[in-house]
Structure formats: C-alpha cells, structure tokens
Amino acid sequence: MNSLIGTYDCKVDIKGRLMLPSGIKKQLSSILENGFVLRRSVFQSCLELYPMEEWQLLMQKMNKLNKFKKKNNDFIRRFSAGAKIVEIDANGRLLIPKDLTVFAGITKDVVISPSINIIEIWDKDKYEQAIDDATGDFADLAEEVMGQDDDDHGIS
C-alpha cells in the first residue's frame, strides 16, 4: 500500500459514526472491501486505523516473538487490547466502538491524520495540543531521525 496523504477535520455523530472524507476514501478505494483494524495508539491518546493487509503484516512480525518470555506476552496482550475489526459502510462511515471513543477522548470534532500506511484518528483538541507540544522539538527531532549520513536507512 502506498503512503496516505492529507489531514482532515471531520465530525463524529451521536452514534459514534465517522464519515470518512472523500480524499481518504479515494486513497483507500482498492482495499475498502478487506476491512480494517482499529486500536488504541501506543504513544498517544488517539486511535490507529490499520488496513487489514497492514495489520496482517504486523501480526506476522509479532507472531515471531517468543511467547515463552513474559515480556513478549505482556506486550502482545497490551498491544492488542481493545483492537476491533471494523468496516466502512456503504455510506462511507466508520463506526468507532464506544470503548475506543472513550480511550481517545473523542467527542464531536475529529482530525484524521495519516501516519504513512495507517490512519490516526484524534479528538481535534487533543490533536492540536499534540502538534503544539511537538513544535519546539520538531527541528531537533527531524535532524535526529532524518539527518542520518549513512545509507543504512535508505533515506538521503
């Protein structure tokens, strides 16, 4: 799957349904019928929407972990806690389960923000706060992450 592009402001209705913007639906059109997995983010209070193909690749990687190590079992359990299979309905809506809505603090206004091959779903206020919090450190972070001189990362 190609990298997703575009950040969108959206609304969630009273039933927890999120109407996906046409720009995102168009980018996902070839994989909509395969379904998605929606889960809690590890690092932020937002949700992550994985296309099923991306989720399966991640699960293959996690399946290689030695399950006889407690640390691995604890990680697998916590990583998959609350994960749900979801689909986009015929009207282009995604139903966000109540427990995930509560985890992310989603009320009405939402931001959909791609993170390469997955989509983050944020409460709008929390998203803006996360962006504001990271602004001062972004130059240093960009240099540390992307400013590598070696070709080991495939980034130049």
> Which mean pLDDT values do the consecutive 10-residue runs of the chain (156 residues) have?
80 92 84 89 92 93 92 90 90 92 93 90 92 72 74 54
Look at residues 76, 70, 35 and name the one whose alpha carbon lies nearest to residue 58. Answer: 76
Helix, strand or coil, per DSSP, at residue 103: helix
CATH at residue 68: 3.40.1550.20
Do the domain assignments include residue 65? yes
Domain that holds residue 37: 8-146
Tokens of 67: 């399950």
DSSP-derived secondary structure letter, 12: B
Degrees to nearest 5, angle at CA 38 with 67 and 138: 90
Overall pTM surpassing 0.75 (yes/no):
yes
Question: What total number of domains does the chain contain?
Answer: 1
Do the domain assignments include residue 77? yes
